[in-house]
Amino acid sequence: MDIRAVSFDLDDTLWPVLPAILEAEQCVDRWLRHHHPDVARAWSVQALRDLRDQIADEHIHLGHDLGALRRLTMERAFASCGVANPPVDEAWRIFYAARNNVELFPDTLTALERIRAHVPVATLTNGNADLTVIGLHHLFHQHVSSALVGVAKPDRRIFELVSDRLGVPPAHVLHVGDDPTMDVRGAKEAGMQTVWFNREGGPWPLPDEFRADLEFTNLTLLASWLDDHFDQAQPAA
Ligand SMILES: [Mg+2]
């Protein structure tokens, strides 16, 4: 393997995303109860989730922009309750602040610093995390998100874009992610090398032809594998 750059998925690869999303939903619900009790009564947390799924089905072209889908959801919820000048921006601000209040996996920071000592690193996400708020932005050389570029993983174009931005051909980029389809199969079909970040240690769920080149249950193991890999590639003089 000739690895010249590494790209990382974010949600569920650098931090668990579900706790932050659940808390963000609760924050919006508390705010609605306080400021718009009619809307809170009409739209429970679960009802808003269902509405968002319905809106996602109606707006397939927005599948790459989860923030836009959440804003449309709030617009529709407010409209159904006859709220004039719906405070969609405020609802989104509350959701987004909590969504970015993530807790990194314990070894994320150390592992990233070890890996970026060898090769340039990039982010490649279908989510809408704000790495500046999370405090990791400075660690990466390039950032690619589906909301900004208009296509989402597993579309090969988003992998080609990160490869272009890194200035490294896809065959020499190692993509690391937790999602077998979005990350591993997508990156593989774009010609990249792949790591399945399999934190739970579960069985590979797709046909063998899509299996990742490497598989680790935490990022420390990946960083150690890369340390060894680069030590062997560049023997001491
Ligand atoms: Mg992920």
- Structure confidence by residue, pLDDT tens digits, 74-83: 999 999 999 9
Of 99, 127, 153, the one marking the end of a domain is 99
Of 81, 99, 117, the one marking the end of a domain is 99
What pLDDT is attached to residue 114? 98
Q: How far is the CA of 118 from the centre of ligand 1 (A)?
A: 23
More confident residue, 232 or 13: 13
pTM above 0.85, yes or no: yes
Q: How far is the CA of 147 from the centre of ligand 1 (A)?
A: 15
Collect residues with CB below 5 Å from ion ligand 1.
9, 11-12, 178
Residues 118 and 140 in one domain: yes
Residues 120 and 229 in one domain: yes
The residues near 138 (Cβ < 8 Å, ≥ 6 apart) are none
Residues 177 and 210 in one domain: yes
Q: How far is the CA of 112 from the centre of ligand 1 (A)?
A: 16
CA distance 131 to 115: 18
Per-residue model confidence as pLDDT tens digits over 105-139: 999 999 999 999 999 999 999 999 999 999 999 99
Residues 109 and 91 in one domain: no
Residues 193 and 91 in one domain: no
What pLDDT is attached to residue 20? 96
Of 80, 99, 118, the one marking the end of a domain is 99
Which domain CATH number covers 36?
1.20.120.1600
143 beta partners = 123
Token pair for 189: 């079909």
What pLDDT is attached to residue 237? 53
Q: How far is the CA of 14 from the centre of ligand 1 (A)?
A: 8
Q: Is the pLDDT of residue 71 over 70?
A: yes
pLDDT, averaged across the chain: 95
CA distance 108 to 140: 13
Enter the DSSP assignment of 119. S
Label the pairing between strands 173-177 and 5-8.
parallel
Q: Which residue has the tokens 């609802």?
A: 91
Q: Which domain holds residue 139?
A: 5-16+104-233
- What's the total number of domains in the chain? 2
Residues 76 and 54 in one domain: yes
Range in 3-7, 91-95, 144-148, 197-201 the model is least confident about: 144-148
Residues 173 and 218 in one domain: yes
What pLDDT is attached to residue 235? 60
